[in-house]
Structure 1
Amino acid sequence: MGMFGTSGIRGPVGETVTADLALDVGRAVGSDLAARDAEGRVVVGRDPRESGELLVDALAAGLRETGADVVDLGVAATPTVARAVAWGDAGAGVSVTASHNPAPDNGIKLWQPSGQAYDADLRAEIERRLREAAFDLRAWDGLGTRTEWDAAPDHVERLVAATDLSGAPDVVVDLGNGAGGVTVDALTELGCSVETLNAQPDGTFPGRPSEPTAENCASLAALVRESDAEVGIAHDGDADRARAVAADGTFLSGDATLALFAGEAASEGDRVAVPVDTSLAVEDYLAERGIDVERTRVGDVYVAEAATDPGVAFGGEPSGAWIWPGETLCPDGPYAACKLVELASERPLTERLADVPDYPIRRDSVETDEKAAVMERVREAVDAEYDDVATLDGVRVGVDGGWFLLRASGTQPLVRVTAEARDERRAEELFEAARSLVASAR
């Protein structure tokens, strides 16, 4: 994987992510747009991290040096930035964000006019320009401009237009001190009574860690359970993710949320794009409705790429990234929030959850400093022993009644082990078999 991983550039400020890097990314993006004769306007926005202010300044300077005009959205949700590329007739968009990562990190993610993140070819070209300092800088009289634009009202307007509520449910929204305020504005305009948690944007994330996990959202679940709210919503720092809480305080698993979204978005004969580590429960739930599952590599970038196919009606990752390709190819947390409230307004989420199977799943990680070599030996062993083997992302083995996945971590010296089956004993057997494969390959 190059400098731009599936989530763009991301890492500690002052180490991986610096003003020098942001300057050069701006130069590379602007030079690439000019070389492709694309629209020389770039929308830029950031999450509430204080480091984002200087990174945007550096990025904007690099873009302007190539003659690109910068449209600065200020603090904005990442899906607002991604959508604003098309709304602003721009050639590209840049989010300065580390998304759900902790406060010391920041990052840079690039967007196409379709709302899709830069694909592998575009990322590779930007990396080449960074590596070779292949920048097309302009003279003093050819520099680009920098203007400001608040695109949040445009996003709110789109959300309201795309949402059809049966009544106006009470909602609690935990913004996680992030940039997802458009969710609150849209739901309020739709007539919902909205109570907020951690609503003040603050890049130190004082209210809770930025990632909206069940553990981090315990306060949200408690508030929903003890109130009259019909649904709770949680976002991460840049609001590309959305997670849900049912009226009884149940935090919906990512797989259950994926099943519910996909079942509503897709029709019989459609396909749904999901990563290779998605639960069998999603596949079974959708199969009952005549909907097929297409598995992708892990990462919303890969889900979005699959969603460009006209036969794919929805794409999602259990981590909380949801893509409706007919709306936009970026994961849009506020749009997902509105869809969750729409679902809850028609039928309680607790009732909907009862329709989704819940299978035992086991997850663990094995430490190793030789991930590539271990995975190569695992592939050889699996090929010799099993018939249904897929190597799209790691090694995924399908067996009667279940599956297991062995996959090298993209950021840590670990091989991740996942196993699932439709009954407890089979899940445990598969998990032990998978762990043994990794242990033998070390």
Structure 2
Amino acid sequence: MFGTSGIRGPVGETVTARLALDVGRAVGIDADRAVVGRDPRESGVLLCDALAAGLRESGTDVRDLSLAATPTVARAVDWHDADAGVSITASHNPAPDNGIKLWQPGGQAFDEARRDTIARRVREGESNLQGWDDLGDRTRVDATERHVDALRGAVGIDDPLSIAVDLGNGAGGVTVDALQSLDCTVETLNAQPDGGFPGRPSEPTAENCESLRRLVEATDADCGIAHDGDADRLRAVTGTGEFLSGDVLLALFAREAVARSDVDEPRVAVPVDTSLAVDDALAPLEATVTHTRVGDVFVAERATEPDVVFGGEPSGAWIWPDETLCPDGPLAACRLAALAADRPLDERATEIETYPIRRANVETDDKAGVMDRVEERVLAEYDDVRTLDGVRADLGDAWFLVRASGTQPLVRITAEARDEARAGEVFETAREIVADAEN
């Protein structure tokens, strides 16, 4: 039922009011109070109503944030002394989709054990419904101002900037409020919340953020910031109009977090498909990466370890565990602005050496069988192999990863090396292994 980032899928098919009701009942078994919020998708209104009904039937008091960024919902669990939080959102997915993401105190998404418990309860119809005189209440509250206060307390900017912010018609208005409270000048794109995402597709890719890039390039903006529909992701444009890759942005944030930390041997949590550029950027600071499964949920779990000072995914999820364990796009926006105020982002980006990465997808109706055969062969032929999420072979100057898609009949191949010829060679080796495993 749960993917790597909660429940997601087409409204009326995978995601229904009945499912939201059942999830509310399942969460309500353990929760005396819960916080709920949603992104701008129109379906979110009825899904939030259904989920809140399931919580209230269980005797759970509901604090309803209405339209709110997902990191605001996650942080509000602690602010309202709640036992759980629920975001009705499909994040960066297209308009026909919606979803449900669950939060525990501390801002961390429900871990695997908690997700499994909720899935089992929904599957078995388990609930703890209360009588008419013991139903939970539902109170409308606002947490945006408190989120702004938290961001202003976490980040200082001595020389305020001019920043272009593309909200993608999503729920990330808290970013604009926070940057303005830090005395930055902000120009917005696609600022009106609209779950149809008329301005651009919700996911802030380079292609989808072309208007932002052109705006920054044509004005005196010091940088550009883009969010997805619920503002848990952030991608960025330098003051010269360059859209930063996710790996470069991860390296910049990680270096800043390591430099601020007082940990003796700091680590940075990243998924197994992260570039060597991050390893190499951290090496001069005597910091290392620790690999996780793909998904911000798993990055956050690793970030609970005391020597992990930052966690991130190249897709745009950034976690500072000293602030919160949720991916907080508005916090990332403020951190990025502080970096740009100290030194232009384009100068910082040139210090991050990048390497050629090759990727391909192989269609197959036998993902499990192919992956079993790939794992057996790679373990037999290579010394440094990890099977944390798929099969990754580290070769010193290069690596390759073979990983089954979680939602499609695909096996994904990724290979990287520090020069083009070597990257091609390693990629072809990995592709040959997968081809042999298909036969």
Q: TM-score range by the shorter chain?
A: over 0.9
Number of the residue aligned with 2:349? 353
Number of the residue aligned with 1:29? 27
- For 2:44, give the aligned amino acid: G
> Counterparts of 1:292 and 1:432 in 2: how far apart (Å)?
28
| Aligned counterparts, 1:139-154, within 5 A | 139-154=131-146
Q: How far 1:32 moved relative to its partner?
A: 2.7
Number of the residue aligned with 2:159? 167
Number of the residue aligned with 1:20? 18
Contact persistence 2:168–2:228 (CA under 8 A)? yes
SS at match of 2:286: coil
State the Cα RMSD in Å.
0.7
Contact persistence 1:32–1:126 (CA under 8 A)? no
| Aligned counterparts, 1:74-89, within 5 A | 74-89=66-81
State yes or no: 1:269 paired with 2:232: no
State yes or no: 1:294 paired with 2:305: no
Contact persistence 1:397–1:403 (CA under 8 A)? yes
Contact persistence 2:258–2:285 (CA under 8 A)? no
Number of the residue aligned with 2:432? 436
Contact persistence 2:92–2:203 (CA under 8 A)? yes
Contact persistence 1:46–1:77 (CA under 8 A)? yes
Match of 1:135 among 109, 127, 144: 127
Match of 1:425 among 421, 427, 432: 421
Q: How far 1:239 moved relative to its partner?
A: 0.1
State yes or no: 1:371 paired with 2:367: yes
> Counterparts of 1:163 and 1:32 in 2: how far apart (Å)?
35
Number of the residue aligned with 1:114? 106
| Aligned counterparts, 1:299-310, within 5 A | 299-310=295-306
Percent identity over paired residues: 70
Contact persistence 2:71–2:326 (CA under 8 A)? yes
Number of the residue aligned with 1:36? none
> Counterparts of 1:341 and 1:136 in 2: how far apart (Å)?
47
Number of the residue aligned with 1:282? 278
State yes or no: 1:331 paired with 2:327: yes
Contact persistence 1:27–1:62 (CA under 8 A)? yes
CA-to-aligned-CA distance 1:296-354 (integer Å, 9 cap, x gap): 00000000000000110000000000000000000000000000000000000011011
SS at match of 1:266: helix
SS at match of 1:313: strand
State yes or no: 1:394 paired with 2:386: no
> Counterparts of 2:297 and 2:240 in 1: how far apart (Å)?
33
Number of the residue aligned with 1:196? 188
SS at match of 2:205: coil
> Counterparts of 1:209 and 1:369 in 2: how far apart (Å)?
30
What stretches of structure 1 move > 3 A for 4+ residues in a row?
Answer: none
Match of 2:336 among 319, 328, 340: 340
Match of 2:9 among 8, 11, 25: 11
Equivalences, count: 434
CA-to-aligned-CA distance 1:102-146 (integer Å, 9 cap, x gap): 000000000001100000111111111111111000011110000
| Aligned counterparts, 1:24-103, within 5 A | 24-33=22-31, 40-103=32-95
SS at match of 1:195: strand
> Counterparts of 2:377 and 2:306 in 1: how far apart (Å)?
37
> Counterparts of 1:218 and 1:166 in 2: how far apart (Å)?
30
- For 1:307, give the aligned amino acid: A
CA-to-aligned-CA distance 1:147-203 (integer Å, 9 cap, x gap): 001111111111112111131110000000000000001111111110000000000
State yes or no: 1:320 paired with 2:323: no
Q: How far 1:400 moved relative to its partner?
A: 3.4
State yes or no: 1:221 paired with 2:213: yes
- For 1:205, give the aligned amino acid: F
CA-to-aligned-CA distance 1:34-69 (integer Å, 9 cap, x gap): xxxxxx110000000000000000000000000000
Gaps in structure 1 of 5+ consecutive residues: 34-39
Number of the residue aligned with 2:403? 407
- For 2:163, give the aligned amino acid: V
SS at match of 1:59: helix
> Counterparts of 2:270 and 2:396 in 1: how far apart (Å)?
21
> Counterparts of 1:379 and 1:68 in 2: how far apart (Å)?
46
State yes or no: 1:245 paired with 2:243: no
Contact persistence 1:419–1:430 (CA under 8 A)? yes
SS at match of 2:285: coil
SS at match of 2:29: helix
SS at match of 1:102: coil
> Counterparts of 1:120 and 1:384 in 2: how far apart (Å)?
30
> Counterparts of 1:313 and 1:408 in 2: how far apart (Å)?
29
Contact persistence 1:25–1:59 (CA under 8 A)? yes
> Counterparts of 1:128 and 1:189 in 2: how far apart (Å)?
45
Match of 2:224 among 208, 215, 232: 232
